[in-house]
Structure 1
Amino acid sequence: MQPLRCWLLLLLVTFIGIEAKSAPEGCFRAAVLDHVHQTDARHLSNTAKIIDLNFKVYEDAAALAKKQGADIIVFPENGLIYSILSREKADEFASDIPDAEVNACTLDSKFVYNRLACLAQKHQMFVVADLIDRKSCEELGINNVSDSCPADKKFLFNTAVLFDRQGKLLGRYHKMHLFGEISMNPPPKPELLVIDTELGRLGMQICFDMIFKTPGYLLAQENKFDTMLFPTWWFDESPMLSSSQYQMAWAFGNNVTLLASNIHRIEVGSRGSGIYVGPHRTLAAALYDDSVERLVLANVPIKPKETDQSACPLDSEIIEVPQQIPIPKSVKYHHQNLNLKDVTLLQLSSNESEVHLCHKGVCCQFEYRLAMKDQPQESWVDRVPLLANMLHYLTPEERYYLLIANRTRPGAYPWSEEFCAVVVCPSSRWNFGKMQKDCSKIGSNQELSSRFVHAKLRGKFSEDTAVYPINVPNEPEYFIELGAKDNSESRAMELGALVLYGRNYNRDPRYEQKALPINL
């Protein structure tokens, strides 16, 4: 029997659909695209050509989604153009997007904004996509000579748009927290957008916004929306900020539904799109180390907090989507690692079953039971008692640590975080004949040799800290548990990471847009 694999609290629910689906009453069927950028080395500077290549994939994905009964499809951030590294290129791609518009499809179809409206109208489904909105300082009521007006007298916004089944623009949202993206501007004022539709109350945020209090967390705490629409281009960081892992944690922790469409470029650590029904603790996610385009579909309750799961079964499926330019199979997945500055580490041992650790007011407790290898002859153990400790499934090549922190995160974009995490450092490093004791590489895509049958991580955090993924109401303690402590027949598990990740939004430094050295 293959061991149960428990990676970063992530469960993959994958079914292959054969016949068209339709959502039960009180539900709708959602689709999100895990999108591989379509690029042609001969036309990298040709914006129109790149847009056409990617839009053809959008059209194919929408047609497939409709055949599977989808009511809405979400496309990713920055999905139609390969990269936007200059102000001039951003302006070339930009449209003047209104607040709302009745007949967006009737306008000039050569513009991407209008083509998306026609796509929605053609397939009679809601469409969410990411574009660039252009607005002059004058349109926004900002003086052209004020410090808040850009030098070229206009704002370029990373923008999510929502069209209904008739191609009507229902709303637009301007990304508040730009991840670098120096060619674009954050909005002058915070945007908290919620749109009432036949699919329920829909909110929108884009990628890096998910890290911060506004808009998503604030709206969720005020119970303003049912489903969050989330175009993203996420860059994975192990062990607690990988895309599907954090998407699931955010949806479950905030008790909301999340429709997340991500760029799939494994060479820069981007992968993982999914549908997460927080109130039901169910999900459908695509998480692959290849370069294949995929569509994720599942049923979603219109009012998730008021609808029983039995009345709205997930009924999920993942379908491959044709690409215009296939990506070489030789491309390998690469992710970033957690910066361990101001993080306390405690290495686990086969000799123990419980460890405790406190740091700057945060306290962590990890209880664990290791699986046993096949026992040797009893006389061997009697003769060499210490050998019994070596029979556990905790190998020297895979060192496990309990990590704890209460810090302002280092880097260009600091934020306040508190966490308890159990992680594996899969490969020992040798330097000048000595084994390195640090944990410079966290997590692994390879099969692990160590085995656990029970793992329970508890944490106590600051009173005003939001803890993902599990929030226990009216309790000062948070926990996540895998396996059974006292069940001798529990299945052996590989454990990549077990995490309680806390965000203290009230202690965050003020957000300031900064350049980032990202090679896209």
Structure 2
Amino acid sequence: MLKIIILKCLIFSANILGSVTDDNISENSYNGTENFYTAAVLEFNSPGNKFSSAELTVDANLKEYIKWIYNVKEYNVDILVFPEATLNYHGLLGDDLKKFAIPLPQEISDNEYEYNCDYSSNAILNELSDAVGNVSIYVSVNIVEIEECNESTSNTNNFSLYNTNIVFDRSGCIVSRYRKFNLFIEPSMSVPEEADLPTFETDFGVTFGHFICFDILFKFPAYDLVLSNISHFIYPSMWYSEVPFLTSIQLQQNYAYRNNIVLLSSGANFPSNSKTGSGIFIGKYGPADSIISYRNETKIIVAKIPKDLNDDSIALNNPKIQPYTPIEMDRLKTWSFIPKNIYPLQENFHVKNGEIECDFALNFTNLSLDYDENVGYVYKLAVNNGKRNLANIVNTGEMYCSIIPCLNDDIKTCGNKFKDSRNLVPSTIFHSISITMTVSNINKDDCLIMPTSLDFSIHPLNVASFQFIEVNKNEFKLEASKDIDEILTFGIYGRNFSMDEKIMHKSESNELLHIVESNESENKKINENLEIVKLQNYIENDDKNIGWKLTIYAGLMVVLCIIAAILVYRRLQHPYEHPLIVMRRKSEMNTS
């Protein structure tokens, strides 16, 4: 009896704990031939972010990395991708960055390391290599790398730090390295003087390219890799989501769809500062699964991926991760951007802007909001071909023909989302949409044009809900023929690489870093935009703590069940009897 009660208690508690683990995992696959590999990406919330000590920060992050490397073994994963800056970068400054930066043994020759796999001189590298070798998978890790400078360089620090991606093969050897070329306000990091297109081959017959975060917006290395016919990519990021065109999985899905590539996107999860977004995107078939979150959480996405995207038998299952509701996503802090050249929403509209022409053919119905407390977006049309300043780092060439959201008729409110969606209702139903962008006098290889869409929950629309057609090398068309109502963005977005021009040099960003570190009040104004500031402990909430709370609850349940079982057992062995009954029994025995 005692054993049965205890066993039932343990099973009950295990089910509680199991539900926590299962909730962090999304598995998907495609229904096709056996010509596939299995990949995993992490939406990763660094446990080290809660510590003020650099030593504790890096140690906690490393332990979590090792844990996940071993965790994926049960899913027969071939390759695992970790995000950007979540091991020995995020939250570290100055001397701490140098102290925990990792020296890599030698230079690369022909995209492969020519040295043995003994990393015993660096504890972080050694632990990662051992874990990867034990599990026997490919693993992509983003690190801060340190390289000592020789006397011929102009570096006054005698060392350089790089935001570097490394890839371990199944034996735990580093087979590829890429130093981030397009830095996003990272004054402690150096831009490599020379950079090759980073690729590596695997034993399962797939050649991967890789690039990091901000790189996705530029020709080198990301688009140059696409042009070189690489079709499978590793993409670690710590992305700041910006409405209406540049939220994380919106851009990731668009990029994979337009180029018909596989994008293994692993994102850092710090939603209180706009950083979130991960997924496995399979070309024109859309995401196997993806997540953009308002919660501090770690999730893993696992999917079987076709090696050949031209395989006609590909049919993705429905994604397992359900998008959060618009009300929940109000808690995600997003950036916003007011597009240029904004026009009223109209059924038929043609406009030329520089080297592009936009044609809109729309069929829509405006809806009543019904109640005074309800709010709805005012939609307008945005058209532009020109330069845009990104964080005072670079001027980029940007093109768009798009439907955009505004909070009201004032164009200064355009490009924003409502902060409170509790009373948000659809204000317009689009019955059909046809948008055409015609480009002239731009080299095809110097521009990237893709569809863009966003719904109320900050998710891109399902790829089955629209058609994107490259009519010819100069004309692109986006069409939707079914009713759409809960949209933030729908249109064509492009990059004109020939307009790009860097405007911030390392010396300027070092000066900016000095200002940030020495002026606390300025920190409060710009720490949303600068990855050079140690973030304060992110918002603690019940969503984040639910895992350990359930663990404690399950443990208490086990203890209480065991105590209850012991009491029941003792009661069965020694039943309680009232003292008068005992005295009467003794009296009867004496009489007899």
Q: Normalized against structure 2, the TM-score is what?
A: 0.69
Q: Secondary structure at the match of 1:51?
A: helix
Aligned to 2:17: none
- In structure 2, give the amino acid aligned to 1:422: I
2:195 to 190, 193, 196: 190
Q: Secondary structure at the match of 2:76?
A: coil
Write the deviation string for residues 273-307 of structure 1: whole angstroms up to 9, x where unpaired: 011112544442112222221111212222334x3
- In structure 2, give the amino acid aligned to 1:347: P
Within 1, Cα distance between the matches of 2:33 and 2:505?
44
Within 1, Cα distance between the matches of 2:54 and 2:312?
47
1:449 counterpart = 2:426:
yes
Aligned to 1:37: 46
Within 1, Cα distance between the matches of 2:115 and 2:319?
33
Aligned to 2:569: none
Q: Is the 8 A contact 2:27 2:302 kept in 1?
A: no
Displacement of 1:263 after TM fit? 0.8
Q: Is the 8 A contact 2:42 2:301 kept in 1?
A: yes
Q: 1:40 to 1:274 in 2, by over 3 A?
A: closer
Q: Is the 8 A contact 2:288 2:316 kept in 1?
A: no
Q: 1:38 to 1:299 in 2, by over 3 A?
A: same
Aligned to 1:250: 255
Q: What are the equivalent positions in structure 2 for 1:437-476 lying under 5 Å apart?
A: 437-444=411-418, 446=421, 447-450=424-427, 451-462=429-440, 463-464=442-443, 465-469=447-451, 470=468, 472=470, 474-476=472-474
Displacement of 1:15 after TM fit? 11
Q: 1:27 to 1:316 in 2, by over 3 A?
A: farther
1:117 counterpart = 2:129:
yes
Aligned to 1:405: 384
Aligned to 1:172: 177
5+ unaligned residues in a row in structure 1: which ranges? 1-13, 139-143, 320-328, 374-388, 429-434, 485-489
Aligned to 2:363: 369
2:147 to 117, 135, 139: 135
5+ unaligned residues in a row in structure 2: which ranges? 1-22, 323-327, 452-467, 513-525, 529-534, 536-592
Q: Normalized against structure 1, the TM-score is what?
A: 0.78
Aligned to 1:423: 404
Q: 1:372 to 1:239 in 2, by over 3 A?
A: closer
- Which has more radius of gyration? 2
Q: Is the 8 A contact 2:31 2:317 kept in 1?
A: no
Q: 1:82 to 1:163 in 2, by over 3 A?
A: closer
Q: Is the 8 A contact 2:348 2:360 kept in 1?
A: yes
Aligned to 2:344: 347
Q: 1:170 to 1:347 in 2, by over 3 A?
A: same
2:353 to 334, 348, 359: 359
Aligned to 1:28: 37
Displacement of 1:135 after TM fit? 1.6
Q: What are the equivalent positions in structure 2 for 1:195-274 lying under 5 Å apart?
A: 195-199=200-204, 200-223=206-229, 225-274=230-279
> Which deviates more, 398-407 or 464-473?
464-473
Within 2, Cα distance between the matches of 1:85 and 1:179?
16
Aligned to 1:308: 312
Displacement of 1:167 after TM fit? 0.6
Within 2, Cα distance between the matches of 1:23 and 1:64?
26
Q: 1:390 to 1:115 in 2, by over 3 A?
A: closer
Q: 1:301 to 1:109 in 2, by over 3 A?
A: farther
Q: 1:30 to 1:102 in 2, by over 3 A?
A: farther
Q: Secondary structure at the match of 2:501?
A: coil
Displacement of 1:440 after TM fit? 4.4
Q: 1:119 to 1:317 in 2, by over 3 A?
A: farther
- In structure 2, give the amino acid aligned to 1:293: T
1:509 to 495, 498, 501: 501
Q: Is the 8 A contact 1:354 1:367 kept in 2?
A: yes
Q: 1:309 to 1:180 in 2, by over 3 A?
A: farther
Q: Is the 8 A contact 2:276 2:293 kept in 1?
A: yes
Displacement of 1:507 after TM fit? 2.4
| Number of residue equivalences | 449
Within 1, Cα distance between the matches of 2:180 and 2:269?
20
Q: 1:287 to 1:390 in 2, by over 3 A?
A: closer
Within 2, Cα distance between the matches of 1:218 and 1:108?
36
Write the deviation string for residues 21-75 of structure 1: whole angstroms up to 9, x where unpaired: 999622111111011122465x31x222112222333233333332223211100
Within 2, Cα distance between the matches of 1:76 and 1:18?
19
Within 1, Cα distance between the matches of 2:380 and 2:317?
36
Q: Secondary structure at the match of 1:90?
A: helix
